[in-house]
Amino acid sequence: MAMAATSSATVRSYNYTPLRTPRGGNPRPRMAVRSSSLSVSPILTNLQTNCATPLPVLRHVADAMADEMRAGLAVDGGSDLKMILSYVNTLPTGNEKGLFYALDLGGTNFRVLRVQLGGKNELVIDTEFEQMSIPQELMFGTSEDLFDFIASGLAIFVEKESGRFSLPGGRKREIGFTFSFPVKQNSIDSGILIKWTKGFAVSGTVGKDVVACLNEAMERRGLDMQVSALVNDTVGTLAGARYWDGDVMVAVILGTGTNACYVERIDAIPKLQGQGQVPISGSTIINTERGAFSNGLPLTDFDKDMDAASINPGEQIFEKTISGMYLGEIVRRVLVKMAEAGALFGEYIPGKLSTPFVLRHVTPDLCAMQQDNSNDLEAVGSILSKISGDQVQTNLSTRKIVVEVCDTIVKRGGRLAGAGIVGILQKMEQDSEGLIYGKRTVVAMDGGLYEHYPQYRKYLQDAVTELLGSEISKNVIIEHSKDGSGIGAALLAAANSKYADYYLEGRMTL
């Protein structure tokens, strides 16, 4: 999540040395080393101690996650977890035919996708997609500006539709709208924005129907399309993965932010009693909004300072501890502390390293540093020089410390993410009389953090295995579902098409 304009770092009784000019850079002030008690080694030791995730900590997190889920299902507002009803009660079966679009807004980019469906014999015939970056200013602008930008990108994409794709006559193009922020859904194709997350602070959208916002923007752009399904990215991922594998029961996103959804029995949702607009039996998909979880997490002063300086202090603590937007920022804060207190980088504190969230998009760099097996950690030195903004010269000892810091933060994040998955499975197992752990159960996983960070994946899987034991964990399959939310949204648009007579045959309830 983006930080406030000013850093939360507090300068206490440090004395500044005179300005010196590092080679190839501008003058940078450096804080004098205060004492040996504040050297780098104790800071690293304290960090590792406070970030430790032994099995009892993981068990507490998993148990607390399951308890919070039940509380959120019992009554709205009963838990930090919103446990939002998705209104997805039917899934695509493979019978769907035609052209469908997906629009995926969930982070610093948005994607548009089209998919041609061919029915039982051909399934997905063809797909095309484009990804577009959202300008930083729009993340803090007005609702109209953001949705106009999205509608414009969608219109340009539609204009490029080639002859490989065909729309049945007399029908509008239909969209599955993946909107990966907390929404209180009213139906499969409408929902009220509860709050922005992941660094967005757009004015004029909270409390409004996001589908209406998109429709109005498309009308202003002259784009004749309609939204048939509004889904969270986790819901889209689950639907897309289950299209190919009927054992998929949970979907998790681990990218810029994090969230999870799962298949829940209607009779296990007390807060739905007496609501006539929902099915009285069967199952549906619940969007947990698990990023807001906070119970029993091992936090450090660096986490607390980052949270205090964020645009949503006190919120999304689980997300701030395990997801891609924050891992680099926590590492940066640790390195700044080490530079100030223990002269980690020698005489100078790299100027760029003082900028909040300068490491927010360098997950590949953190990963590369952890994977550097050379004797002198040359790759680590090169990366530090690149991300610091100065020609910083580091010795082997400094490079080893930086790798230890990265590993400590990433290990905590991966293991807590694994505990969060087990919490969901545990809740499902306890409520379903052994129907989860006793058979093959698939967790569909998407997101750049999971996809591109093998160390993180390993720590996550290790935690799942430790918590479940080797035998049960063999039945829990974590599968990468790349770009699943986009395909899934298009499939859900088809399954919930406005032209119901065209797709009615063979619909499948959950």
- Residues annotated as part of the active site: 198, 233
One-letter amino acid identity for 49? Answer: T
| Cα torsion angle, 404, 415, 417, 40, sign | negative
C-alpha 195/C-alpha 300 separation (Å) is 26
Element (H, E) at 456: helix 454-468
H helix runs in 135-232, sequence order = 143-159, 210-221
Contacts of 298 (CB under 8 A, 6+ apart): 50, 51, 52, 53, 57, 412, 416
C-alpha 357/C-alpha 387 separation (Å) is 11
C-alpha 63/C-alpha 430 separation (Å) is 11
Q: Which of 349, 407, 346 is nearest to 7 (CA)?
A: 349
Q: Alpha carbon of 50 to those of 97, 325, 409: distances in Å?
A: 54, 21, 10
The pair phi, psi for residue 94, each rounded to 5°, is 105, -10
Residues 194, 200, 201, 207, Cα dihedral to 10°: -20
Pairing of strands 258-265, 248-254: antiparallel
C-alpha 83/C-alpha 288 separation (Å) is 4
Question: Using CB atoms within 10 A of its CB, is residue 296 exposed (0-12), middle (13-18) or buried (19+)?
Answer: middle
Do residues 126 and 165 lie in contact, with contact meaning Cβ atoms separated by under 8 Å? yes
Question: What's the alpha-carbon Rg for the chain, to the nearest Å?
Answer: 24
**H/E/C letters for each residue in 269-294?**
CHHHCCCCCCCCCCEEEEECCHHHCC
- For tokens 């660094």, the residue is 199
Q: Which of 106, 82, 59, 64 is nearest to 292 (CA)?
A: 82
The pair of structure tokens assigned to 148 is 């106009």
Do residues 203 and 210 lie in contact, with contact meaning Cβ atoms separated by under 8 Å? no
Question: Using CB atoms within 10 A of its CB, is residue 59 exposed (0-12), middle (13-18) or buried (19+)?
Answer: middle
In the chain, helix, strand, coil percent, each to 5? 45, 20, 35
